[in-house]
Amino acid sequence: MSADVPSPDDQIFELEADVVLTSRARIARNLSGSPFVHRSDPEQCQTVAEEIRTAAECVDLPGSPVWIDLAEISNRHRRVLYERHIISRQHAEGHHPRGVIVDEDETTSIMVNEEDHVRMHTIAQGLQTDHCFDQVRDIDRSLETKLPWAFHQRLGYLAACPSNVGTGVRFSAMLHLPALSLTGDLKKVQNAANDLKLAVRGYYGEGSESSGNFFQVSNQVTLGCSEEELLEQFQQVILPGIIQYERSARRALLRQDRVGIEDRVRRDIAVLRSARLIKVDECMRRLSTVRLGVCLGILDDVDLRHINSLFVLIQPGHLHERVGDALSPREALVTRADTVREMLA
Amino acid sequence: MSADVPSPDDQIFELEADVVLTSRARIARNLSGSPFVHRSDPEQCQTVAEEIRTAAECVDLPGSPVWIDLAEISNRHRRVLYERHIISRQHAEGHHPRGVIVDEDETTSIMVNEEDHVRMHTIAQGLQTDHCFDQVRDIDRSLETKLPWAFHQRLGYLAACPSNVGTGVRFSAMLHLPALSLTGDLKKVQNAANDLKLAVRGYYGEGSESSGNFFQVSNQVTLGCSEEELLEQFQQVILPGIIQYERSARRALLRQDRVGIEDRVRRDIAVLRSARLIKVDECMRRLSTVRLGVCLGILDDVDLRHINSLFVLIQPGHLHERVGDALSPREALVTRADTVREMLA
């Protein structure tokens, strides 16, 4: 890079955080002898939930986890858990007995009676799929001392959806791909991902739109490979390939149109620091450009962690939570703009 | 106004400068015994130009005026004179012998061989049509001691276009009407202006588009009334009516959507202070909103004079002049953005 665009802080490249927002690992499990969730009546769901909750309280899970009964909390609270990626949309919107066990740091969550009886998740900043897998496997090992997982000699662990049968393990990473979006090369990544049997989803997982140029990439098949093989392929081969592709698109943009990129970045941070009303889509889009600007070293007075937090804090449930009261659509625009200005001041 | 939007500086309302950018008065005259410009050959134009230039040098005009031969200067220089409203587009683009006499302050200009042999103009900040008329009449009186104006007993002063026959006087004001543009009430002003036999034109006069919500309003008929009657009607009746209409639209906007207006104003000043590339239309539009914001007291760290100057300084000829070299379209975007950032820093 030339002198007029300073080098970004090295921390930005630690754990590939310039491209990888978060890594996740999850394990899906079901209780032997109980019907799958979609075939259970409310009473069966309640029995399963209590069995799992009791087991979780008996084993020593890290981070002082607590049980949250999703049927007992408000819509707004469920919405906040969803926006924080602690529960899925499907889990938030269900009507049967269900809950989630979540630790203090919100790095570990165990959804109970989502698609499967148990879905253990761990999340970490940057590229740390291996670390996430170590953690979630420990939780699985603890729980299986108390709970009889449904297991088939030939197929492996059973799951409600065939794509999860086998290891029940899924790795995923939330990737920020603004340069590939700008250059129009995202389609190539999606095609390559399909060939590699990866799923590419939006910011809120299955069925969600891409927003802020975030794409959740995950392995789709858990049958026929060991967890270690899946993990190695995902973390050592697939993700580094996409990361390098995005980085090379970023370098090309800077080389071909440094002023144009700087113009976009500086306009977007200026608008975010000044707006009095802002919609969520516009906000995600401008935050995405600003995140790119920080990673390219164009903005040196913006903390990447603040930007990363804002993608969550500007969501509707979090705005309601901040004000502690119902917000009209107009008030939400004002509160979102206030939140962004304060964080970027 | 409530406490959260401070009252703007009283200076903004001096000479109605919140709505009136500039006032102008002009007198059109032709030499008796010489054909009108559009019926003259180049030699006749040359003779007329020399006669007028000599006369102007013999009388004592204020402000140390100089003669500029438009056939002798560069395209870029002609463009700059046009952008500063010293000459018209038609005058800049002509091919016959012609020139302009302009004083040090650029408040007085005498176009020679534009549509008429002589077009004397004076310009002033804010609403000062009477002051402009006093000045231009003094120039006319000085010149007529040396030059034989074409005059008809019954019709008055003769001119190339019938609309200028009579007094040859025209008053105009450049009005900034952003609130009436926003509320969609501009059409009503235009209809009323037509009924009152006023012309409403864009930022660069006849045939130009409105830009930055500026509208040049001028009287169209100079026949059948004295100059004093025309002036009184224009300055005491017509302009105050439009000014009050715009001010009441501004108050209504603040009352109905204070946050929305503040949002627009703060976004636009932020973008102007941050952009690295900017087109002239976008720049005019955002400067217009910022001018409104200053007049409403929303922005208290922006000098109205800087904004007023920028409407001229961001035009293509001025950008070329600043750099002193030909600019590619892309370089013009960069230079415009630089100019704006420096002025608003």
Residue B6 lies in a domain: no
Is the domain of A224 the same as that of A130?
yes
Residue B297 has pLDDT above 60, yes or no: yes
Lowest mean pLDDT among A293-297, A331-335, B26-30, B232-236: B232-236
Is the domain of B63 the same as that of B105?
yes
| Enclosing domain of residue A160 | 11-244
Residue B198 has pLDDT above 90, yes or no: no
Question: Strand ranges (DSSP E) for A60-138?
Answer: 66-69, 99-102, 108-112, 118-125
ipTM of model = 0.88
Is the domain of B216 the same as that of B266?
no
Residue B251 lies in a domain: no
Residue A74 lies in a domain: yes
Q: Are strands A169-176 and A156-157 parallel, antiparallel or unpaired?
A: unpaired
Is the domain of A119 the same as that of A265?
no
Q: Which residues of B touch A276 (CB under 8 A)?
A: 259-260, 262-263, 266
Cβ count within 10 A of residue A258: 17
Chain B residues whose C-beta sits inside 8 Å of any chain A C-beta: 259-260, 262-263, 266-267, 269-271, 273-277, 334, 337
Residue B2 lies in a domain: no
Mutant choice from B269, B277, B338 vs A, greatest count of A C-beta within 10 A: B277
CB contact (8 A) between residue B273 and residue A270? yes
Residue B305 lies in a domain: yes
Is the domain of A263 the same as that of A240?
no
Question: What per-residue confidence (pLDDT) applies to B207?
Answer: 58
Pairwise pLDDT comparison (A226 vs B207), residue with the higher score? A226
Of B259, B273, B275, the CB nearest to A276: B259
Cβ count within 10 A of residue A10: 7
Is the domain of B207 the same as that of B268?
no
Is the domain of B94 the same as that of B143?
yes
Q: How far off is chain B from A268, nearest CA to CA, in Å?
A: 8
Residue of B nearest to A271 (CA): B267
Q: Are strands B214-219 and B198-201 parallel, antiparallel or unpaired?
A: antiparallel
Residue B222 has pLDDT above 80, yes or no: no
pTM, whole model, 2 decimals?
Answer: 0.90
**B244-276 confidence digits (pLDDT tens):** 999 999 999 999 999 999 999 999 999 999 999
Is the domain of B238 the same as that of B263?
no
DSSP A6: P
Question: What per-residue confidence (pLDDT) applies to B209?
Answer: 60
Is the domain of A26 the same as that of A140?
yes
CB contact (8 A) between residue B275 and residue A263? yes
Of A259, A271, A276, the CB nearest to B262: A276
Q: How far off is chain B from A269, nearest CA to CA, in Å?
A: 9
Residue A297 lies in a domain: yes
Distance (Å, rounded) from C-alpha A185 to C-alpha A325? 43
CB contact (8 A) between residue A271 and residue B273? no
CB contact (8 A) between residue B277 and residue A263? yes
For range B308-331, the mean pLDDT: 92
Q: How far off is chain B from A309, nearest CA to CA, in Å?
A: 23
Percent of all residues in chain B with a pLDDT value above 90, rounded to a whole number: 76
Pairwise pLDDT comparison (B326 vs A100), residue with the higher score? A100
Question: What per-residue confidence (pLDDT) applies to A3?
Answer: 42
Is the domain of A84 the same as that of A183?
yes
CB contact (8 A) between residue B260 and residue A273? no
With beta carbons less than 8 A apart as the criterion, state whether A107 and A63 touch: yes
Residue B227 lies in a domain: yes
Burial of A305 (0-12, 13-18, 19+ CB in 10 A): exposed
Is the domain of B205 the same as that of B275?
no
CB contact (8 A) between residue B271 and residue A267? yes
Question: What per-residue confidence (pLDDT) applies to A246?
Answer: 96
Q: Shortest CA distance to B90 belongs to which of B205, B212, B219?
A: B205
For range B57-75, the mean pLDDT: 93
Segment-wise mean pLDDT, segments of 10 residues, chain A, 345 residues: 54 87 96 96 97 93 93 94 94 95 95 97 95 96 96 94 91 95 88 85 69 90 78 90 95 96 98 97 96 95 94 94 88 97 95
CB contact (8 A) between residue A267 and residue B275? yes
Residue B299 has pLDDT above 60, yes or no: yes
CATH number at residue A76: 3.30.590.10
Total domains present in chain B: 2
Percent of all residues in chain B with a pLDDT value above 70, rounded to a whole number: 94
Residue B286 lies in a domain: yes
CB contact (8 A) between residue B276 and residue A270? no
Pick the last residue of a domain from B244, B275, B301. Answer: B244
Distance (Å, rounded) from C-alpha A211 to C-alpha A218? 17
Residue B64, amino acid: S
In the structure, what pLDDT confidence band is assigned to residue B205 with cuts at 50, 70 and 90? low
Residue B119, amino acid: R
CB contact (8 A) between residue B271 and residue A276? no
Question: What per-residue confidence (pLDDT) applies to A88?
Answer: 93
Question: What per-residue confidence (pLDDT) applies to A2?
Answer: 43
Q: Shortest CA distance to A45 belongs to which of A145, A116, A136?
A: A116
Is the domain of A44 the same as that of A21?
yes
Mean pLDDT across chain B, nearest whole number? 91
Mutant choice from B256, B271, B274 vs A, greatest count of A C-beta within 10 A: B274
Question: What per-residue confidence (pLDDT) applies to B1?
Answer: 39
Residue A56, amino acid: A
